[in-house]
Amino acid sequence: MSKWERASLKSFLNIEMGQSPKSVYVNNHCDGVPLLNGPAEFTDKYPIPVQYSTRGTRKANKNDILFCVRGSTTGRMNIADQTYFIGRGLASISHKNGCHLNSFVKGLLEIYLNGLLGGKGGSVFPNINKSQLLDFEINLPPLSNQIAIAKVLSDLDAKIEVNNKINEKLEAMAKLVYDYWFVQFDFPYDFARGKPDINGKPYKSSGGKMVYNEELKREIPEGWEVKPLNYLISEFKNGDWGKDKIQGNYTFSVKCIRGTDIPDTYTTHSDNSPARFILEKNKNKCLSEGDFVIEISGGSPTQSTGRICLITKELLDRIGQDVICSNFCKATSISDNSATYYFLNTWQLLYDNGVLFSWEGKTSGIKNLLFKSFVKNYLIPIPPLEIREKYQKIIETNYRTTQINLAENQHLASLRDWLLPMLMNGQVSVDEAEYMVYETVSMAAEEVEE
């Protein structure tokens, strides 16, 4: 610590405060440079711009840290994956010695965020202005330490990113296989033996017999049935919300999946589902492996209700305790385990294609999915058991790998959060941190092999 020095952020960081361009220079048809105004465009890592500007005044360069400086999301960060114009809700921040040190900078900002937000007497600023950023002082390690710390943090982030890329590919593969088998009806088929075979030829394009179905108004493979969605559903579980702390008989601790949490179950290691307490007698509402959670209230003009997630063993292990869904969701179980992933991806396709918009009603301004009517009346083709089982085996492996990767990311992120203050104040050496990262990754790899 003797070599560490007190330094203001401006002494080693480039800080550019955003400034919103005039509206006449802003458009949403990709004319000019992408424009970012704040966290509405943020994701877990890189922003997704929705506006462009032909004449902005403040820029963020590729690899800069995008830092929110206004309102309740002050301090939230993303990384610039290209050049952006930035509005007044953002600042772009980078290290003067190069972008390879930005992992150190991001970690530094996370550690000192409370100090940036808090003023004298513990008051909280709704905004951070330029002088607050420029003049804020910290204990700064020597440049060699900064480089070493940046490497440890970037190695952790890189491993998380690799897992995310793998999961994106697995998701794309699952959609491709579903489309190939159940939309184009080119599931692999052994014509000589007259049965599905993973090494067979594509059914429809190889001359497999198709029959016209009057109910669906299209051709389906010979031998397939047509049934409503609820043919595959065995039971329903209602949601619960309970209390945010122990009150009276509300003593049973659970995590509660809301509609807004559903995308995170497949896309991020973060578990944002709130902790709640429910009545002991309502333990039967807890979710089990193989259950589905379906959002039945909410949505928006551009997003229908009906988001869905599958409860897997790996997901339950990652959450680490009993799980229910909220009152704005409904949990269902499948009558035939061989149809689990066929049901999931059929529902997801209907959602992605906007079909569920047509099955919504409104109560007090809130959109509600007409769930019972939808599953009772919406007809789908039902593949024979052998095809469902083969599809199940392929996709189940994909989803298991996805959840294992998310669990590993959860461990890596927890390690990163623990290491950050330790590295920043010198309590843990870089060599020790690198060993911990190696051990965590190796342990996760062994768990996958098992």
- Between the CA atoms of 258, 261, 262 and 268, what dihedral angle is there, to the nearest 10 degrees? -160
pLDDT at 445: 55
Model pLDDT for residues 133-191, shown as the tens digit of each residue? 999 998 898 998 899 999 999 889 888 889 999 999 999 999 999 999 999 999 999 99
Task: Write down the pLDDT at residue 230.
Answer: 94
Last residue of a domain, one of 113, 140, 167: 140
Instruction: Tell me whether residue 212 is in a domain.
Output: no
CA dist 20 → 36, 55, 58, 272 (Å): 9, 10, 8, 32
Residue 409 contacts by C-beta under 8 Å, 6 or more apart in sequence? 160, 163, 164, 268, 269
Q: Is residue 216 part of a domain?
A: no
362 and 244, same domain (yes or no): yes
User: CA dist 306 to 286, 351, 381, Å?
Assistant: 20, 7, 20
Q: Lowest-pLDDT range, 117-126, 128-137, 220-229, 234-243? A: 117-126
241 falls within a domain: yes
The SS3 of residue 119 is coil
Residue 218 banded pLDDT, cuts 50, 70, 90 = very high
| Residue at 47 is within a domain | yes
Give per-residue pLDDT as tens, 413-426.
Answer: 888 888 888 888 77
Sign of CA dihedral 198, 290, 231, 256: negative
Q: Is residue 242 domain-shared with residue 375, that is, in the same domain?
A: yes
Q: Kindly state whether residues 306 and 437 are assigned to the same domain.
A: no
- pLDDT tens digits, one per residue of 351-369: 999 999 999 997 767 899 9
97-111, 129-143, 433-447: lowest mean pLDDT where? 433-447
Domains contained in the chain, number = 3
Q: What confidence category does residue 263 fall into, taking pLDDT thresholds of 50, 70 and 90? A: confident
Q: Is 25 in the same domain as 159?
A: no
What is the model's pLDDT at position 265? Answer: 83
**Which pLDDT score is estimated for 59?**
96
Same domain for 64 and 187, yes or no, is no
Q: What's the pLDDT score for residue 271?
A: 75
**Is residue 240 domain-shared with residue 359, that is, in the same domain?**
yes
The answer to whether residue 417 sits within a structural domain is: yes
Together in a domain, 189 and 262: no
Helices (H) and strands (E) in the chain, counts: 10, 28
> What value does the mean pLDDT take over residues 239-246?
94
The pLDDT of residue 66: 97
* 304 and 393 belong to one structural domain: no
Give the pLDDT confidence score for residue 416 in this predicted structure: 87
301 vs 66 pLDDT, higher one: 66
| Residue 406: CB atoms within 10 Å | 24
Task: Match 């203050």 to its residue by tokens.
Answer: 421
Q: Are residues 103 and 159 in the same domain?
A: no
Alpha-carbon distance values, 232 to 174, 219, 229, 386, 387 (Å): 20, 21, 6, 16, 15
Query: Residue 306 above 50 pLDDT?
Result: yes
In-domain check, residue 220: no
| 75 falls within a domain | yes
pLDDT at position 100: 92
Q: Which of 33-42, 116-125, 294-303, 318-327 has the lowest mean pLDDT?
A: 116-125
CB contact set of 350 (below 8 Å; sequence gap of 6+): 306, 356, 378
Are both 359 and 258 inside the same structural domain? yes
Q: Provide the b/e sequence for 32-42 (b: ≥16 CB within 10 Å).
A: bbbbbbbbebb
Nearest to 345 by CA among 292, 298, 304, 386: 292
1 has pLDDT over 90: no
C-alpha span between 447 and 317 (Å, rounded) = 13
Separation between Cα atoms, residue 265 and residue 159, nearest integer Å? 19
Whether the pLDDT of residue 394 is over 80: the answer is yes
Query: Which residues, at least 6 apart from 166, have a Cβ–Cβ distance to it below 8 Å?
Result: 401, 405
111 and 49 within one domain: yes
How many of the other CB atoms lie within 10 Å of CB of 426?
Answer: 13
The predicted structure's pLDDT at residue 120? 40
> Dihedral angle at the C-alpha atoms of 189, 195, 199, 201, nearest 10 degrees?
-20
CATH of residue 296's domain is 3.90.220.20
Place of tokens 């333990």: 283
Better pLDDT: 69 or 2: 69
Q: Which of 85, 119, 140 is the last residue of a domain?
A: 140
Q: Is residue 300 part of a domain?
A: yes
CA distance 26 to 32: 9
Please indicate, yes or no, whether residues 16 and 127 belong to a single structural domain of this protein: yes
How does residue 122 score in pLDDT terms, banded at 50, 70 and 90? very low
Domain span at residue 344?
A: 229-381
Mean pLDDT of the chain: 90
pLDDT given at position 365: 73
Question: What average pLDDT does range 58-68 have in this prediction?
Answer: 96
Closest CA to 127 of 68, 59, 86, 76: 68
Closest of 106, 103, 110 to residue 155, by C-alpha: 103
Residue where a domain terminates, one of 327, 356, 381: 381
Q: Concatenated DSSP letters for 368-410?
A: EE-HHHHHHH-EEEE--HHHHHHHHHHHHHHHHHHHHHHHHHH
Contact in structure between 261 and 248 (CB atoms under 8 Å):
no
Q: Report the percent of the chain where pLDDT is more than 90.
A: 64
Least confident window among 88-97, 281-290, 294-303 = 294-303
pLDDT classification of 121: cutoffs 50, 70, 90: very low
Residue 436, pLDDT score: 86
Residue 283 has pLDDT above 90, yes or no: yes
Q: What residue type is 307 in one-letter code?
A: R
Nearest CA to 80 among 59, 58, 101? 59
pLDDT given at position 126: 66
Give the mean model confidence (pLDDT) for residues 101-111: 91
Average pLDDT value for residue range 324-330: 94
* Residue 306 exposure: Cα atoms within 13 Å on the Cβ side: 27
- Residue 288: phi and psi, rounded to 5, are -120, 165
Band of residue 123 on the pLDDT scale cut at 50, 70, 90:
very low
Which pLDDT score is estimated for 446? 57
